[in-house]
Amino acid sequence: MQRSDFGEDFKWGVSSAAHQIEGAHLTDDKGPSIWDHFSSQKGKIANNHNANQSSDFYNLYPQDLDIMHSMSIPNFRFSISWPRVMPDGVTVNRKGLDFYHRVIDKCLENGIEPWVTLYHWDLPLALHHKGGWENREILGWFSEYVQLCAREFGGKVKHWMVLNEPMVFTGAGYFLGIHAPGHRGLGRFLKAVHHAALAQAKGGRILKQELPQSQVGTTFSCSYLTPFSNSERDAVAVKRADALLNRLFIEPSLGLGYPSKDLLLLERMEKYFYANDEKNLQFDFDFIGIQNYTREVIKHSWFTPMIHAKIIPPNKRGVEATVMNWEVYPESIYEMLKKFSSYRGVKKVIVTENGSAFPDKVENGTVNDPKRLTYLQENLAQVLRAKNEDMSVGGYFVWTFTDNFEWAEGYHPRFGLVHVNFETQERTIKNSGLWYRDFLEGNDLAEKESQSVPAFQDISRSNP
C-alpha cells in the first residue's frame, strides 16, 4: 500500500479541536466555554483534569506547524473556539480573531491547507446560561458566528466544516450528562438535536452565500453495528441503534427527515417543529466527514428505556481493544464508507477522524507505539479497499496530531502522532508519526531500520 494508490486528488491530513489543544483558556479576553465550566466541577473529568493549558497550542502553534511541515502533512483540520472570537457568544473579540489569522497564515506559509471546523463542542458559557442548544435562539447566535468567521477568514480558508459530531455533543451533553453541559433528559436531548440539525444546514447555507467557491461539509460520528446474536430481537435492536447513532443527523440534511420509523421516540421531535423546518433541515453539502474508530456489538435490552438496545463492550467479549475500550476492528471504516457513500445526494465522503489510543513507550528520546502504527495501516487498507470499489471517498485525516485533552477522559488516552510531555510541553514524533511521514513522502518505513527523531527541546516549557 502506497500513497499513490489513493490517487493524486486524495486529501491527507490530521485533525484537532480548539478546546483540546489550545490551552490559554482565559488569555486575550477569551470567554469561558461550557467545557471550561464542566471541567472545573470535581469528578466530571477523569483525575479532575482540565484543558486550561493542555498542549498549549495557543503559544506553541508555530513550532507545532513546523513539526507538521517536517512530517509532510499537507492538510490540517482545526476548529475555531467560539468563545475565543466571541467571548459572550455575540460580542466580537479582535484578539481572538487575530490568533486564528496567525494560525492560518502560518499554515499557508508552511504549505499546509487549513480546514476549519466551526463548532467543536466549546459553546460560550454565556449562551449556555440562555439555554444553549435547547434554546431555538441559538440559530441566530450561531448564524452571526458563522458569518463572522466566513467574512474574516474566507479569503484564506477554502474548506469548512459546520459541526463536529452533533450526535455526540447532543447525546453525551444533553441526554446522558457525561459531557458538557452535563444535562440529562429526553426532552432536552430532542430539542438540542433539532436545533443542532437546523444549525448544521443553516451554517452551510451561510458559508455558501458568503463564500460560493468554498468547499462546505460537516462531520458525523459513526460506528459499524452488528448484532450480538442471530436473534430477530438483536437485529431489530441494531436498527434502532443505527437510527440513533448513525442516521440521526445525515438523513434530515438529505431531505429524508428524522429516522423515526426505526426509532419511534424521534416522533416526539415534531413538537419542536416550526413552519418550514423540514425544508430548512436540508443542505446540499459538498462533502461529509465521517469519524469512525470502532464497531459496536448490539444486544436487545428491555432494561434500556426507549431504545431497548445496549452495547456489549469488547472487554465483555474478549477481543482486542484500545485504552478507550473501543474494539480494534478495521473493517468498520470500510462498512461506514460503504453506508454513507450509498446515500443519494452524498457527493463525497472524507474520513475526517480516525485513530487510536494505546500506551506509548518513551525511551531514549523515542516513542514506540506499534499498536497505533498497525491500527493506522490496517484502517488505511480498508479505506483503499473502499476507494478501489469506487466509493466516493476523497480523503483521510488522522486523529490526532499531538496528544491532547481527551474530554471526560482527561489526559490518560493518547491519540497523537506526536507525543507531548504535559509537564514540560516537549514534543517527540512517535514511530507512528514517522511512518505516516514516510508514507506521505512515498517511502516505506517497514523497509527501514527502526529510527527516531530528536525531541523538540527548544519548545519545552514548564507548567505554571
* Lookup: cell for 360: 506509548
Q: Per the domain annotation, does 234 fall within a domain?
A: no
Q: What integer pLDDT is reported at residue 451 of this predicted model?
A: 41
pLDDT attached to residue 448: 43
Nearest CA to 120 among 169, 156, 159, 84? 169
Please say whether the beta carbons of 183 and 133 come within 8 A. Answer: no
Separation CA 457–CA 319 (nearest Å): 39
State how beta strands 418-421 and 426-429 pair: antiparallel
What whole-number distance in Å separates Cα of residue 384 and Cα of residue 251?
26
d(CA 105, CA 446): 35
392/349 Cα distance (integer angstroms) = 6
| 314 occurs within a structural domain | no
Residue ranges making up the domain that contains 267: 3-225+244-297+324-459
Q: What are the C-alpha distances in Å from 82 to residues 126, 192, 212, 294, 396?
A: 11, 18, 23, 30, 26
Task: Check whether the bond before 87 is cis (ω within 30° of 0).
Answer: no
Tell whether 310 is covered by a domain.
Answer: no
The per-residue pLDDT for range 156-183, each reduced to its tens digit, is 999 999 999 999 999 999 999 999 999 9
The reply to whether 312 falls in a domain is no
Specify if 302 maps to a domain: no
Q: Write down the pTM of the prediction.
A: 0.95
Ranges of the chain with pLDDT below 70: 444-464
Asked if residue 170 is part of any domain, the answer here is yes
Give how far the C-alpha of residue 189 lies from the chain's centroid of Cα atoms, to the nearest Å. Answer: 20
309 in a structural domain: no
What span, in angstroms and rounded, lies between the C-alpha atoms of 194 and 279?
Answer: 13
**Percent of the chain residues topping a pLDDT of 70:** 95
Number of domains the chain contains: 1
Active site residues: 165, 353
Strand 75-79 to 215-221 pairing: unpaired
Residue 446 is predicted with a pLDDT of 45
Measured from the Cβ of residue 76, the count of other Cβ atoms closer than 10 Å reads 25
| Contact in structure between 183 and 191 (CB atoms under 8 Å) | no
Residues 405-459: tens digit of each pLDDT: 999 999 999 999 999 999 999 999 999 999 999 999 998 544 443 343 333 333 3
Cβ-contact 159, 214 below 8 angstroms: yes
Give the residues across from 428 on adjacent strands. Answer: 419
56 falls within a domain: yes
Output the domain CATH number for residue 351: 3.20.20.80
Q: Quote the cell numbers at residue 325.
A: 475500550
Compute the distance between CA of residue 380 and CA of residue 388 in angstroms, rounded to an integer: 12
CA distance 16 to 419: 14
pLDDT on residue 454: 37
Instruction: Decide if 206 contacts 147 (C-beta within 8 A).
Output: yes
| Distance of alpha carbon 279 from alpha carbon 254, whole angstroms | 10
